[in-house]
Amino acid sequence: MVFTENLKFKIRSMKSEDALLLLFDKLQEFEEGLLLNKLFPNQNVLTKGYLEIGKCYRIIKYVKGDDFTYVGAPENKIDIEFVAKRATPFWENRSELVQIGCVGGDKYHDNSNYE
């Protein structure tokens, strides 16, 4: 990731005490959620529409009657992660999904082993 590489470069050029302070500040920002938009640029909640085939998704709210097994989910429940194998889920009751992985790049950096 570009952000991580820039941070590594900056740390290499600093005194060790300053580098530790910078790392501490970045860790604190991450814990507070301030870096999430840099690391995961599109975490918009999806409640309708098409999925992008080959992208990874997580069900964050499931409403009975919606069916994501048709598009690749192993089951219909909260916290299930899946790779979309089709674009059109049976999705009319406002269940919620988020796209996961490295959504800004062409490769995923998660545990799905999907490229």
User: pLDDT by residue (tens digit) across 15-58?
Assistant: 777 777 777 777 766 665 545 544 554 568 999 888 888 889 99
Tell me the pTM.
0.53
pLDDT over 60 at 109, yes or no = no
Please report, as a single letter, which amino acid is at residue 37.
N
Phi, psi values for residue 102, rounded to 5° = -85, 80
Q: Where are the domains of the chain?
A: 2-39, 42-115
Q: What is the pLDDT of residue 22?
A: 74
Say how far apart CA 77 and CA 81 lie, in whole Å: 10
Residue 54 zone, left/alpha/beta (φ > 0; ψ -120 to 50; rest): left
Say how far apart CA 87 and CA 23 lie, in whole Å: 41
DSSP 74: S
Q: What is the pLDDT of residue 102?
A: 52
